[in-house]
Every structure is written in structure tokens, then in C-alpha cells.
Amino acid sequence: SDKSQNRKSKKKPVTACLLTAAFFSALGSSFLYGYNLSVVNAPAVYIKAFYNKTWTERYGQPIGTETATLLWSVTVSIFSIGGLLGAWSASLIIGILGRKGTLLVNNSFAIVAALLLSLGETAKSFEMLIIGRLVMGVDSGIALSALPMYLGEISPRHIRGSIGQLNSILICLGVFVGQVLGMPELLGQESRWNFLFAFLAVPALLQLCVLPFLPESPRYLLIEKRDDAGAKKAFQRFLGKKDVTCELEDVLKEGQALGNQSTVTVLQLLKSRNVRWQLITIVITMVCYQLCGLNAIWYYTHRIFKAAGFSDSIIPYITLSTGAVETLAAIASGIVIERTGRKILLIFGFSSMAVFFGLLTVFLNFQDSTPWIPYLSYVCILAVIASFCSGPGGIPFILTSELFEQSYRRPAFMIAGTVNWLSNFALGLLFPFIQEGLQSNAFLFFLVICVLGSIYLFMILPETKNKTFMEISQNFIKLNNISASNSQHLKLTVYEG
């Protein structure tokens, strides 16, 4: 029966092959994304000085304040433009090269970016830095589509969430490593900031050394490439057992239900009634992921720490505590996700963020009344970060791979990626204005978004832990207003049309 099968699947050990594939695929992709989020903060002063020096040498006069600000904000924000380009091209590349192939080829972007960013100063070209950030954005855009897809497809369903959380854990670890290496004692110095960027090549090269020897996603091999032997071998290595007929049959069943078409286009996905609510759910979750205010917290930390009376010399060390809390919370989430499920962690994360945003707003308004209030603000900041990483920090990517069956998955990641990077870009543009308008009440904007997100997820999202991709699709049938018999027929009409 189903239950005894479930019990059996629980006892299976996780193979070294699966862990190695998951860790190294994430190291070369999501780790680099996280690292790039934080790495640009420490050397900002030196990079601006380099821009000014280069400008003066070139044009014989110092750079204007406005031009300097513009150049710097382009340097920072062009990363999300690159991410958008990456998310758009990912679907195509993944179709041609597969999940693993895409991750491998993607390393070339990271290595090119490392060269551009670390040699820009020597070449006296700030354009190289800007192009380097763009290329690194493309790398991250591709990585955040290909990686969750690969992780979701190689892991057995009883640990799919935990393996999927490696994406989030390594993003947080990347942020933390970026903060550590940016310390003044290490590479955050005028003479050494180039090495901060040269480091980008290290995880990429490590992945290039290990990943070629590990299998491709068996679902991709079976459903899209129709390579039965390859899929069987991949399953055997990932699961560490000879007999994988059960797994192969599951995937084949899904393949048959999907008809002959291996992939739907983005337009077909948008039109399809079969996946209407899955799509709405992913879009809303991704918007909340970006607009729940975590990026704004980073923006404020320095100011709040200063107000708390921490001197400038120790602020970098206190900032480290934020990166450390982030990483620990993500690891904790990866450990409990298969017990609690995705839905509870997401709702818990967003609602606790809302609570702490409320408290933070109160404390910010009374910041100057007593000397110990800023310390409470600091605790609230850590609590917001921990709440984010406990669920919202990684689960949106896991859900994108879980809510869609094979043929819809690539276009779904393209749409999710587009929403993700556009929201990121929009927040970067709008936040300074929100902040100016609302001052210390700016966090109320994010509080509202977190509350709305929690309500939507509570009402609509089904739990997806330990279910096959087919079962998850079945959960949406009622919502999408399709009768079960009709759902098979509809699938076929989508394909024939």
C-alpha cells in the first residue's frame, strides 16, 4: 500500500552522489548569487574613488556628483537587468543542454565576470566593472532557474524540500562569505578589492571540476530526451540502488499524462486553464519574496547600528551577525521542511516578518527617547532576517519546480524569474522614494505585503511535501475549475493545439 511505500522511502539513506551533486551544483550557482548581493558593499568607497580617478585621468576634470551617483547606481542595479536576461535565456539553454549542462556552461559567465571585475582597475576602465556586473547578473538569472529545477528533479520526493533548500542555504552562505571577505582585515582594502571579485572564479572552477562526473536529471533524460538507459543509470546513482523500476514508472506515467509534447511555450502556459492557479500562486509568491522588505533591511542596518551607538569601526562585525543569522535560519529550515511542510514555513515566515516589521516601526519612532531602544531595533532586524530565511528565502524556488509538471516547468521558471528580477529592480528604484515619503514608517509598506502574502498562501496553496508532481497537479484541479476526466482531455487539446 501507499503508506508502507512511504515508510520504505523514509528509511532510504541519502546517497553521497545526490549530496555531492546538490552541493556542487548550488556552490557554482546560488552561492555566487548570494556573494554578489553583499560583495559590492564593502569596497563601495574604493570603487567610487577609482571611478573618480579614471574619469579625471580621461577627461582632465573630476567627475560631477550627479554623474558619480548615476555611474554607481548603474553599477549596482545593472545586476538585476542581467538577471532578467539570464532568466529569459535560461529556458532556451536548459532545453538544449539539459539541467546539468546549463549549470556547467553557466560557469563561463562567472569566469568572464570575474576577469572583467578584477581587471577593470588595471585596465583603467570602469566600463569593465559595469559590464562585469551585467554578466554576473546573467549568470545568476540562469542559475536561479536551472538550479532549483535540477535539485527538484534529482531528489526523491521524501527529501525534495530539504535538498531544494540547499539553494537558499548557499545563497545565505554566499552573502555571509561576501561580508567576511569584505572585512577591512581581509580584502576590503583599497589595494585588495580586486581580489573580492577575482574570488568569483573559485566556486565556478570547483563546480567545473566535480559536476561533469555526476548524472543529469533523470526526469529530463526520460521525458524530454527519451533516453531510458541514461535515466535508469542516473536514478541508480542518485538513489544508490539497482532496482529503480518504481521510479522510472512514476516518471513515465507523468510523461504519458503529458501527451507527446515535451515542452509548452510561455504563451501556452499563460493561456492554459490547467495551471492557472499554479501560475498565479508562483507570481504572487515571487513578488512577496522580493517585496517583503528584506532588501530594505540591509539598507537600514548601518543607520540603525550607528544610532545604537556602535562605532563605525565595529559596525562591519555587527553586520556579520546578520549574515550568520541568515545562514543558520536557512539551515534550520532545510532540516524541518520535510516535517512541517512548505505551506506552514512560508506563512510562518511572512507573518513573523510582519510582526517584527511592526515592532521595528515602533522602535524606530522612539529611537532617540531612551538609549536602549536601538538595541531592540537591532534584535528586530535579526528576527526579520531569520523569519525570511526560515521559509520565504528558499521555498518560492522549490514551489516553482513542484507546482508544475515536466512540460510546464521551463516556461514556469521563465515567468517566475522575470517576476523575481523585475520586482527586485522595481524595489531598488522605488525604495528611496518610499523611504523619503514615509521616513521611519517605511516598513509599514512591507508589513502590508507580508500580511497579504500570508493570507493568499493560507487560502490557496496546498501542501506539497512528499507528493509526486502528478498528485500536486491533482490538488489544483478543483481550483482551476476542471473536472478530472476533462483534465486529461484538456491536456491533449493543449498539446494538439
pLDDT tens sequence for the chain (497 residues): 444 444 444 457 788 899 999 999 999 999 999 999 888 877 888 888 888 889 888 888 888 888 888 888 888 888 989 999 999 999 899 988 999 999 999 999 999 999 999 998 888 888 899 999 999 999 999 999 999 999 999 988 888 889 999 999 999 999 999 989 988 888 878 788 889 999 999 999 999 999 999 999 998 888 888 888 988 999 889 988 888 888 888 888 877 777 666 678 888 888 888 888 999 999 999 999 988 888 777 766 777 777 666 777 788 788 888 889 999 999 999 999 989 889 999 999 999 999 999 998 898 888 777 878 878 888 998 999 999 999 898 899 999 988 888 888 889 999 999 999 999 888 877 777 777 787 778 888 899 999 999 999 999 888 888 888 888 888 888 788 765 444 444 444 344 33
Q: pLDDT at position 199, please?
A: 93
Q: pLDDT at position 295, please?
A: 76
Q: pLDDT at position 457, please?
A: 93
Q: pLDDT at position 48, please?
A: 86
Ordered by where they begin, the domains of the chain are 13-214 (1.20.1250.20), 262-496 (1.20.1250.20)
Q: pLDDT at position 122, please?
A: 87
Q: pLDDT at position 427, please?
A: 82
Q: pLDDT at position 47, please?
A: 86
Q: pLDDT at position 262, please?
A: 61
Q: pLDDT at position 8, please?
A: 47
Q: pLDDT at position 120, please?
A: 87
The pTM of the full predicted model, rounded to 2 decimals, is: 0.88
Distance CA 315, CA 319 (A): 6
Q: pLDDT at position 489, please?
A: 42
